């Protein structure tokens, strides 16, 4: 690597200053120099390097038109010849995370070190973690400065051709890849120490960390829906028009309960979506039932295919919501459904 460091920064349409969800389909664009969070990157680099360009692309475009986006990114990288690519950080934004991971993959194919930052539950990390150097983040952009600092530190090491040590030591998320290293203490001594610590209930770090996934056995199928009251849940951000409960557009903490008793359909005068992870224009101007198919369910109810529809539905926003928080909301919804003797539920995801 030659000093000063040449850096390309990848951002989505929001952090790139173009706009929100309505601009999520824009193709990859190139801006000279630093943009948005990249200005902080430039300040941190000082005379050590320069953000030579910022690549900005809509979340939908990079995810849905990955090949075209990759071609455009590859051509731009050839033009700017950076020593390092920074992507994001994406925090818990799923499509942004996937796009950052794909941008890092394009850079890696071109022989350019790349680094990103994400929440550990971001699908960009969980899907591509074996190919990523990814700094762990929380769910909110308030820690942007600290995350960018860590990304630059690790990225500079990569650009200098230095190998990274173990994830726990260097501060990046585990890739699942294991490399053989020489340890001064032989294995049998380390094993005895771990065994003694476990016997005496002392904390100890395992040398073989296995990711634990919760197993959720599916319930048996409902044999006769004509005898069942069906509960309805949506993660599409559906709320009464005006959003009286103040549901957030992302990182939801609550699921709100709303009545549909006596309603055959959802009108645009009475309902809207506040979801920030997709463009809700069609829902809010034409058809709210895309995230809660009440008209079809009422038809099935009238035909006897469904015994009844529970008179209240639950609504939350799935955009950026952590798994732990989603489990908590699900448990609360399940409690009411159990009390109401509801044997089946329809969850409309987005």
- The CATH number covering residue 106 comes to 3.40.50.2300
Residue 85, classed as helix, strand or coil, is strand
Domain assignment of residue 339, yes or no:
yes
The answer to whether 75 touches 31, Cβ cutoff 8 Å, is no
- Structurally, the chain folds into a number of domains equal to 2
Quote the pLDDT of residue 310: 95
**CA 319 to the chain's CA centroid:** 8
CB burial of 91-107 (b: ≥16 within 10 Å; e: otherwise) equals bbbbbbbbbbbbbbbbb
Quote the pLDDT of residue 210: 65
Going residue by residue through the chain, which has 350 residues, state the pLDDT in tens, using 9 for 90 and above. 557 899 999 999 999 999 888 888 899 999 999 999 999 999 999 889 999 999 999 988 888 888 899 999 999 999 999 999 999 899 988 889 999 999 999 999 999 999 999 998 888 898 888 889 999 998 888 899 999 999 999 999 999 888 888 787 888 888 877 777 777 888 888 899 999 999 999 988 777 766 666 788 888 888 888 999 999 999 999 999 999 999 988 878 889 999 999 999 999 999 999 998 888 888 899 999 999 999 999 999 999 999 999 999 999 998 877 777 888 899 999 999 999 999 899 999 87
Same domain, 105 and 19: yes
**Interacting residues of 166 by C-beta distance below 8 A, sequence separation 6+:** none
Domain assignment of residue 245, yes or no:
yes
**CA 288 to the chain's CA centroid:** 25
Same domain, 15 and 133: yes
Domain assignment of residue 295, yes or no:
yes
Among 170, 197, 212, where does a domain finish? 170
Quote the pLDDT of residue 121: 86
Quote the pLDDT of residue 110: 92
**Interacting residues of 157 by C-beta distance below 8 A, sequence separation 6+:** 164
What size, in residues, is the chain? 350
Which parts of the chain are beta strand (E)?
5-12, 29-32, 49-57, 84-91, 114-118, 134-136, 229-234, 238-240, 256-259, 271-273, 308-315, 344-348
Same domain, 234 and 145: no
Same domain, 238 and 103: no
Domain assignment of residue 191, yes or no:
no
Same domain, 39 and 146: yes
Same domain, 33 and 147: yes
Range of the domain at 279: 225-348
Domain assignment of residue 178, yes or no:
no
């Amino acid at each position: 690597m030659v000093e000063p460091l040449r850096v390309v920064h990848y951002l989505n349409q929001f952090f790139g200053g173009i706009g929100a969800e309505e601009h999520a389909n824009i193709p990859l664009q190139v801006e000279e120099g630093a943009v948005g969070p990249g200005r902080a990157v430039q300040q941190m680099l000082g005379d050590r390097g320069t953000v030579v360009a910022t690549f900005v692309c809509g979340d939908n475009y990079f995810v849905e038109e990955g090949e075209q986006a990759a071609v455009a990114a590859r051509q731009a990288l050839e033009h700017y010849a950076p020593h390092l690519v920074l992507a994001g950080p994406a925090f818990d934004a799923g499509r942004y995370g996937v796009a950052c991971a794909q941008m890092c993959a394009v850079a890696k194919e071109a022989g350019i070190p790349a680094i990103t930052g994400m929440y550990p539950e971001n699908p960009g990390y969980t899907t591509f973690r074996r190919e990523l150097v990814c700094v762990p983040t929380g769910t909110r952009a308030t820690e942007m400065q600290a995350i960018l600092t860590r990304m630059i530190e690790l990225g500079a090491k990569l650009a200098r051709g230095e190998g990274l040590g173990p994830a726990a030591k260097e501060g990046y998320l585990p890739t699942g890849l294991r490399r053989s290293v020489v340890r001064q203490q032989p294995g049998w001594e380390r094993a005895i120490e771990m065994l003694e610590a476990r016997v005496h209930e002392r904390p100890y770090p395992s040398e073989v960390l296995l990711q634990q996934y919760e197993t959720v056995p599916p319930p048996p199928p409902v044999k006769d829906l004509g005898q069942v009251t069906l509960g309805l849940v949506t993660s599409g951000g559906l709320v009464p028009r005006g959003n009286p409960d103040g549901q957030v557009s992302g990182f939801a903490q609550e699921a709100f309960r709303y009545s549909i008793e006596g309603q055959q359909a959802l009108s645009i005068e009475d309902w809207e979506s506040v979801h920030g992870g997709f463009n809700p224009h069609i829902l809010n101007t034409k058809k709210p039932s895309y995230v809660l198919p009440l008209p079809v369910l009422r038809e099935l109810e009238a035909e006897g295919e469904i015994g009844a529809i529970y008179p209240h539905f639950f609504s939350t926003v799935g955009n950026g919501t952590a798994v732990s928080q989603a489990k908590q909301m699900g448990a609360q919804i399940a409690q009411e459904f159990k009390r109401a003797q509801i044997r089946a539920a329809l969850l409309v995801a987005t």
